[in-house]
Amino acid sequence: MRMNKNSSNVMALAPNTSNKRETVCIFGTGDFGRALGHKMIQSGYPVVYGSRSTQISNLIPKDAEVLGHAEAAQKAAIIIIAIPRQHYNFLTPLAEVLRGKVLVDISNNLKLNQYPESNAEHLAQLLPGSKVVKAFNTVSAWALQSGTLDASRQVFVCGDDVEAKQMVMNIVRALGLTPLDKGSLLAAQEIENYPLQLFPMWKFPIFLSLGLTAFFFFYCVLLDIIYTYIYEKKDFSFFIAITIPNRVCPVMALILLALVYLPGIFAAIIQLYRGTKYRRFPDWLDKWMLCRKQLGLIALGFASLHVLFTLVIPLRAFVRWRTSTRIISQVMNNKTEPLDHTNAWLSDSYLALGILGFFLFVLLGITSLPSVSNNVNWREFRFVQSKLGYLTLILSTAHTLVYGGKWFLSPSTYKWYLPNIYILSLIVPCAVLVVKFLLIFPCVDKPLTQIRQGWERNPKYSEQSNYIINKSAV
């Protein structure tokens, strides 16, 4: 029989050929407890459930045993605590039985930082004689049971006892998952917060992008469709599908890319003004700097859409109609236009600048993939993100300037005295590039470099405000 009859209070680290996997005990017959039990039985582990009542447990996997808590705990060296934190107190009477055992806390909370200390640390305080390991909370019961673990197979594990942690990590591996050692039990809080997050770093960049996109979209609808309808009696409502998105996307891409580099500019100015790097930046600047990657990737998304929208232009029915109308009108007027060299230069230049800018932008995006950025050192990462990033911004700004430049001074573009969105889109990138250009002048760059290397213009100031000399007081 597969069932392990003798009490395995003594840990069997050496595999026993007749019964290869050690028995695992699960406290609690809730959904996740059952799913985990199923999976463990499939992977060859004898499973024994600890339950208050052994009568109503008809959902328990059929190969599992169901016993009272104390009896079940005695059968295994590892006990998985699949009960909610609110009921942890009932484990205290079992302290003697659980002494020396490995307790696996798999609980999750309903909101971030719900309790002052993590569930696993709470459990460790209640049962100081047991070895608590946090694991499995990032895995979904549904995914575990249906076997469709397309999602992350990583299981974060933490705990203070190294051997206990190793035993739990071996079970994780046996279930086909990848354990990731996150260190001591202090990491439990972070691990418990992890599955509750939904792209926390992306929230601000996405809302900012949605807001700006809506603004620019309606601005374009106003100037390109409503204005034309009122003053020229022409219906260009189909511009909503491609023409206007292809105006909004490049504008968004350029502005968001500039917003990636703007906080660095602010930081440099603040450091120059303060004359020290040892004071914290304002909170808004810190937060802004932390979401630069996300802003850049959203900008890359808009740039990609702009590329696609631009490349389909020759396929549009409207554009094909306009092209043939122009040719026919030339034929009708019996004139052949010579090649306009300035126009050929401008047209080819802005296309070439755009292509190079987009190419570098995609390179930046690729280097921000986790597996790529983990394979470059800090010097290489700085080179790519800073040097290539600024080159991308320069090329994109030049692309927009060459494309929209001719409209700057032409009064016909100022419908209702409102500027074209090309002009609006250039404000932030041009400001960033001008200030960055000033910052690389030696007379500014030298003191800035010194400050960043730890030099202080006015040590007294920072000393009074931030640091205290700790005289040795032993």
C-beta of residue 28 within 8 angstroms of C-beta of residue 72 = no
CA distance 297 to 302: 9
Give the pair of three-digit tokens for residue 400: 């927009």
Interface positions, 78-107, toward a copy of itself (CB under 8 A): none
228 in contact with a copy of itself (CB under 8 A): no
In the window 449-468, what residues touch a copy of itself (CB under 8 A)? 452-454, 456, 459, 462-463, 466-468
Sheet holding 47-50, edge to edge: 65-67, 47-50, 24-27, 78-81, 102-105, 131-134, 154-159, 178-181
Q: Please give the backbone phi and psi of residue 158, each rounded to the nearest 5 degrees, phi first.
A: -145, 155
Nearer to a copy of itself, 346 or 435 (CB): 346
Kindly state the smallest distance separating residue 317's Cβ from a copy of itself, in Å: 4
- Give yes or no for residue 213 binding a copy of itself (CB under 8 A): no
Q: Which residues pair with 67 in a beta bridge?
A: 50
Tell me the residue type at 346: L
- Residue whose pair of structure tokens reads 């190419």 in the numeric block: 359
Residue placing its CB nearer to a copy of itself in the complex, 196 or 391: 196
Nearer to a copy of itself, 96 or 150 (CB): 150
List binders of a copy of itself among 268-287 (CB under 8 A).
277-278, 281, 286
Q: How near is the Cβ of 150 to a copy of itself at its closest, in Å?
A: 5
Q: Which of residues 401-420 bind a copy of itself (CB under 8 A)?
A: none
Taking the complex as a whole, the smallest distance from the CB of residue 69 to a copy of itself amounts, in Å, to 11
Q: Does 295 bind a copy of itself (CB under 8 A)?
A: no
106 within 8 A of 135, measured Cβ to Cβ: yes
Binding to a copy of itself by residue 318, rule CB under 8 A? yes
How far is it, in rounded angstroms, from Cα 81 to Cα 96?
16
| 3-class DSSP assignment, residue 364 | helix
> For a copy of itself, which is the closer residue by CB, 280 or 417?
280
Nearest to 158 by CA among 119, 138, 184: 184
* Residue linked to tokens 């350029």: 254
Task: Determine, following the binding rule CB under 8 A, whether residue 377 of this chain makes contact with a copy of itself.
Answer: yes
Question: Of 145-153, 223-231, 408-416, 424-432, which part binds a copy of itself (CB under 8 A)?
Answer: 145-153
Q: How far is the CB of 427 from a copy of itself (least distance, A)?
A: 25
Interactions with a copy of itself, residue window 193-212 (CB under 8 A): 194-199
CB of 417 to a copy of itself, least distance (A): 29
Q: How far is the CB of 223 from a copy of itself (least distance, A)?
A: 18
Binding segment for a copy of itself (CB under 8 A), chosen from 59-67, 205-213, 225-233, 419-427, is 59-67
Residues 242-271 that bind a copy of itself (CB under 8 A): 242-243, 245, 267
The residue from 210, 308, 427, 431 that contacts a copy of itself (CB under 8 A) is: 308
- Is residue 13 part of the contact set for a copy of itself (CB under 8 A)? yes
**Closest by CA position to 139, among listed 102, 181, 176, 101:** 176
Nearer to a copy of itself, 369 or 438 (CB): 369
Structure token pair of residue 87:
């009921």
DSSP readout, 53-95? Answer: -SSS-TTS-TT-EEE-HHHHHHT-SEEEE-S-GGGGGGGGGGH
Interaction of residue 174 with a copy of itself, rule CB under 8 A: yes
| CA–CA separation, 143 and 218 (whole Å) | 43
Contact pick of 77, 106, 169, 258 for a copy of itself (by CB under 8 A): 169
Cβ(298)–Cβ(206) below 8 Å: yes
Kindly tell me which of 140 and 419 has the beta carbon lying closer to a copy of itself. Answer: 140
CB of 311 to a copy of itself, least distance (A): 5
Contacts of 91 (CB under 8 A, 6+ apart): 27, 81, 98, 123, 126, 127
- As measured in angstroms, the least distance from the Cβ of 418 to a copy of itself is 25
Whether 250 and 431 have beta carbons less than 8 Å apart is answered as: no
Residues 190, 138 contacting (CB under 8 angstroms): no
CB of 327 vs a copy of itself, minimal distance in Å: 5
Q: How many residues bind a copy of itself (CB under 8 A)?
A: 153
Measured from the CB atom, the residue of 113 and 323 that comes closer to a copy of itself is 323
What does the radius of gyration of the chain's CA atoms come to, in whole angstroms?
32
Instruction: Name which position in 9, 114, 170, 213 contacts a copy of itself (CB under 8 A).
Output: 170
Binding flags for a copy of itself, 319-358, as an x/- string (CB under 8 A): -xx-xxxxxxxxx----xx-xxx-xxxxxxx-xx--xx-x
Q: Which lies closer to a copy of itself via its Cβ, residue 151 or residue 440?
A: 151
Closest approach, Cβ 82 to a copy of itself, in A, equals 12
Helix residue ranges, H only, 48-197: 69-74, 95-98, 119-126, 141-146, 162-174, 188-193
